[in-house]
Chain A
Amino acid sequence: MTGRFVTAPWIWGGMILFHIGLVVVALRFYDHQSFHLYDAYRQAAEREVEFLAKVAGDTLQQGSYSGAQRLLAQWAGKDPSTHSVALRAANGFLIGGHQRGQPAEHRIAVSRTVAYSYRGEAELTLTKDLTPVREKSLLLALEVIGSSLFVSITYFVMTFSALRIQRQSQELRRRSEALNRTNALLQEEVQERIRAERELRRAAKAIENTSEAVVITDAVGRIIQVNDAYCRITGYSQRELLGSNPNINHSGRHDRAFYEAMWARIRENGSWSGEIWDRRRGGEVYPARLSIDTLFDEDGEVENYIAVFTDISQVKANEEQLERLAFYDALTGLPNRTLFRDRLEQGLRLAARIQGQLALLFIDLDRFKPINDTLGHDAGDLVLKEVARRLKGCVRSSDTVARLGGDEFTVILSEVRGGEEAGMVAQKIIDALGLPMEVKGEPVTVGGSLGIAVYPKDGNDFDSLTKNADDAMYRAKEDGRNRFHFFTEAVEKQSRQRLTLERQLQQALDRGEFVLHYQPKLDIRSGRVCGMEALVRWQPEQGPLVGPDRFIALADEVGLLVPLGAWIFDQVCAQTLVWRAQGHDLQVAVNFTARQLRHPEALAMISGAMERHPLPPGTVELELTEGAMMEDLEHCIATLHRLRALGLHIAVDDFGTGYSSLQYLKNLPIDTLKIDRSFLQGVPDDPENLSIVSAVVYLGLSLNLEIVAEGVENAAQLHFLAERGCQQAQGYYIGPPMDAAAFSAYLAEGRWPRV
């Protein structure tokens, strides 16, 4: 029954007719949809060619045929669906264009006439490759035909295909709209930029004095202002930079994405900051901390970008340097006085908490000064390093060994059981220091004197404990060195004896036991003695002559230096007046300490002396060490200016051993630099000292300062100084310190060497 029905001819005929009908419908459907697709594509292409023709026309209008060439090549290269672009002149000449591969079988070509002034008229042709689209719709049609074998499926497939095609054409329409929108946005952006450029106003601010580099650009990134710091850091001059783009500083260490992210952030937030690698004009790459801000005008448009940055390579280096200098002794690597104080205070707190004991050892080297003086400072440095090494070998790693300066060391023994244990360590140290060492091929033996103070017995705070350890050490030294002493009653008695010494000093002043010696200074240019340095000595009633190094510090400590200074000043002025009256054109230099400089009566004392002794301005010179000047720089500058107003000259003593900062040479009112005697050692053979002396002389000449070389000991040194243009020389070769009578004879007999 069923079989008959299926094989019935009318069914077959019907089915065949139905399928033929389906194929026809499918083909028509395909035609229809293809037409729509083509149409949509054509419309998009028309819009594209119109836009392109307008831009190309504008470019040609300006006479830039080569610009139009570049534009077309770039345009065609951007979109893979563009098969070719061609701009042909009226005579057929191809002005510009681009073709991708072989001509496609299915394509849409659209043309526009590009009219530009003069008599030119060109034709712009844009060809879009439709092969992929064509293939896709053909496939759809085949699907439809194939599916006609199954009526029911065909229906679904057709519906489905129709929907897909419709979606595609919608998609296509959407894309062409998006293209239009992009074009519009592009135009808008161009307009915006032009407007921003027009509205650009300078945001010039007082930024020249900041040490940070500042650069201001306009909205499109052209530099309109930079400060000096920017020029200094980048290496370009202001003239070179104005009008350029800051990207000439790019180091090449960051990729495009980095800068794009940076600018995205600036556009979003208005600012960016961070660390960045830049490159100087000379090519050196350096890290910088950079922040960029945007300035907007009243309409909210970008007006300027301001970038501020610092070269942080220096900052980083400085921080490390500072850290090191602040807490550790540069020579031995041991903790310095600052860190020592910190450690001791910490140790005391700990000892208090656990109710334990702590021992503090003060160590002063014996026979160190002679080593320094005979073998030189570098030998002394080697000895100090070796001492540091040995000290560390004598204690536990939890104990602290510190260097307080010079040949003074200290050891903190935490958690000791008592004095005996500290004594054992002390003996160990003395034994270790007593072993000979070899320095520069010479066998050398130093020893040490130790003072011990124990917490809590000998003191329960930093000050009392250190003072008592120090006193104990003095005692050890005076008992004959190479031994240790506890801070006991006896040591305390010893410290009372120091008080006695203070009284003796006071008496010496009252009784006139101080005498003045004078060391001549030679004017190298004229070969004549031009002045002298006054040096104070103490001649006790009984006993030998005492040098200033023995009593100046003490007098300074106990405040006797001001009355002593007044006495010295009067003596020196009076004596100088006498010699000048005898026809010697002499200048006299007097040493002055930080304490004296700070003393409120210092000015009154000096101006009194100057009034009593009518000396011409510039006759009296004050010698101050760098350290004395640096203690209170501001006050010092003010005082020195007043002293100069009184007619005094100011000299920097021992130059090169202290801060040696250009800053103070610039800021302080000084007339003379005295090169420290240590730099003359070995000159003219020691190449390092030779360079230092040459350079200091050169420095003095450039700053218009008088240069005095101290410690001149032979003719070769004097000759070398003369050659370098050094003005004055002082030292045993010129003449030793002499009392007034001897100095008079020296002047009368002309005993100084000839240059």
Chain B
Amino acid sequence: MSCRNRPALWGLLLCLLGSQAAAAERLTLGVQPFLDRSELLRRFAPLADYVGERVGRPVEVRIAQDYEQHIEDIGNDRLDIALLGPAPYVVMRDRYGPKPLLARLEVNGRPELMGHIVVREDSQLRSLEDLRDHGFAFGDPRSTMSSLVPRYLLLRVGIRERDFGFVLRLPGHQDVALAVLSGDVDAGAVKQEVLEAYRAQGLRSIAQSPPISEHLLVARNGLDPALVARLRDSLLEMGQQPEGRRVMQGLQPGVTGLVPVRDEDYASMREVLRWLGPINP
């Protein structure tokens, strides 16, 4: 009858509460595999923890096998929260219908990307039509700005890949810039930042893409609307808090905020994909 066993009982209750909390269902945060797994985990685990702490549910990072799998998982509501690029987003949206949108990235103060077709400063090439029969370099085929958008720009003036003398596919935007400057190809496609970085060494733009909205985060259909609202609020507030800013910087250098997003923001991307026809994202 004595109360002297209270510490034991408190211990039991703490265990119990602990196990209850652990039992609260985990949310999943899906990420497309644009880097190696360890690196993605290192970058996104802090975001998962940050969001988890603010909505009171543990969040687990999931990395898809490939882009197609990622789109399928989001479309079939197998991920509670997901980050995806503009092109995969449009493909997913058009294939599976709308999802609650949470926020899009703002990089160096802009929530949009821009791409350019570049040549050497001393090149005779002045317009896209001049590129016929010349060597051209694209970046990674999955990349929006060094592959999809330039193909769209070229298609609009009637140039297909077979109209080039030859075509290179290089790993990154920088490689494209260097290949053009080395004279290995006559022109190539890069994003705005890379053009700026190499302009002084003799890179020149002959065509500019429409602005393409940045990467975004979406939620699953069927997720409690109150929870979706909390998720959205916690993401949009990140830029105003030191901890949030630290987490964002960890995602990708130059991220300055997470800002509101609407489906209309991806109209230009949708237009690009419409021109390109059915493609693999």
Contact = CB atoms under 8 A, between A and B. Distances in A.
Contact of A657 (B2, B15, B16, B49): B2
B3 interface: yes
Given A65-B175, A377-B2, A378-B3, A119 B9 contact: no
Nearest to A692: B9
A240 B166 contact: no
B27 to A, nearest CB: 12
Nearest to B182: A89
A321 B182 CA distance: 71
A660 B168 contact: no
Contacts of A658: 5
A65 B1 contact: no
B181 A243 contact: no
Contact of B170 (A63, A122, A244, A677): A63
B170 A64 contact: yes
B181 A89 contact: yes
A118 B37 contact: no
B7 interface: yes
B172 interface: yes
Given A245-B38, A282-B49, A95 B178 contact: yes
B226 to A, nearest CB: 24
A689 to B, nearest CB: 9
Contacts of B3: 377-378, 381, 657, 678-679
A237 interface: yes
Contact of B13 (A236, A239, A372, A695): A695
Contacts of A315: none
Interface in A661-679: 661-662, 676-679
B80 interface: no
B183 A91 contact: yes
B121 to A, nearest CB: 11
Interface residues of B, number: 46
Interface string A79-112: 0000000000111010100000000000000000
Contacts of B202: 93
Contacts of B63: 239
A119 B37 CA distance: 35
B168 to A, nearest CB: 6
B61 interface: yes
A64 B45 contact: no
Contacts of B1: 654, 657, 676-678
Contacts of B41: 236, 240, 244, 248
B211 interface: no
Contacts of B171: 62-64, 66-67
A242 B20 CA distance: 27
A559 interface: no
A65 B178 contact: yes
Nearest to A281: B45
A377 B5 CA distance: 11
Given A62-B171, A66-B174, A662-B15, A248 B182 contact: no
A239 B60 contact: yes
Q: How large is the interface on A (under 10, 10 to 19, 20 to 34, 35 or more residues)?
A: 35 or more
Nearest to A710: B1
Contacts of A676: 1
A196 interface: no
Interface in A298-351: 330-331
Given A118-B135, A118-B166, A95 B182 contact: yes
A69 B15 CA distance: 56
Interface string A687-703: 01001100100110010
A406 B5 CA distance: 12
Contacts of B17: 695
Contacts of B172: 64, 66
Given A64-B170, A64-B175, A66-B174, A93 B182 contact: yes
B168 A66 contact: no
B140 to A, nearest CB: 10
A635 B170 CA distance: 72
A281 B49 contact: yes
Nearest to B184: A120
Contact of B8 (A243, A282, A660): A660
B78 interface: no
B229 interface: no
A657 B2 CA distance: 6
A64 to B, nearest CB: 5
Interface in A355-391: 372, 377-378, 380-381
A662 B61 CA distance: 32
A290 B209 CA distance: 55
Contacts of A688: 6
Interface in B241-270: none
Interface in B206-238: none
Contacts of A661: 12
Given A63-B179, A119-B135, 18 more contacts: A65-B170, A65-B182, A95-B178, A118-B168, A118-B184, A120-B182, A240-B41, A240-B61, A244-B37, A244-B38, A377-B3, A381-B4, A654-B1, A656-B9, A677-B1, A678-B1, A688-B6, A691-B13
17 contacts: A64-B172, A67-B171, A69-B178, A89-B181, A93-B181, A93-B182, A93-B183, A122-B182, A237-B26, A237-B60, A248-B38, A248-B42, A377-B4, A380-B2, A660-B9, A692-B10, A695-B13
7 tightest Cβ-Cβ pairs between the two chains A and B: A89-B182, A65-B178, A91-B183, A63-B170, A377-B3, A243-B37, A244-B38
Interface of A: 62-67, 69, 89-91, 93, 95, 118-120, 122, 236-237, 239-240, 242-245, 248, 281-282, 330-331, 372, 377-378, 380-381, 406, 654, 656-662, 676-679, 688, 691-692, 695, 698-699, 702
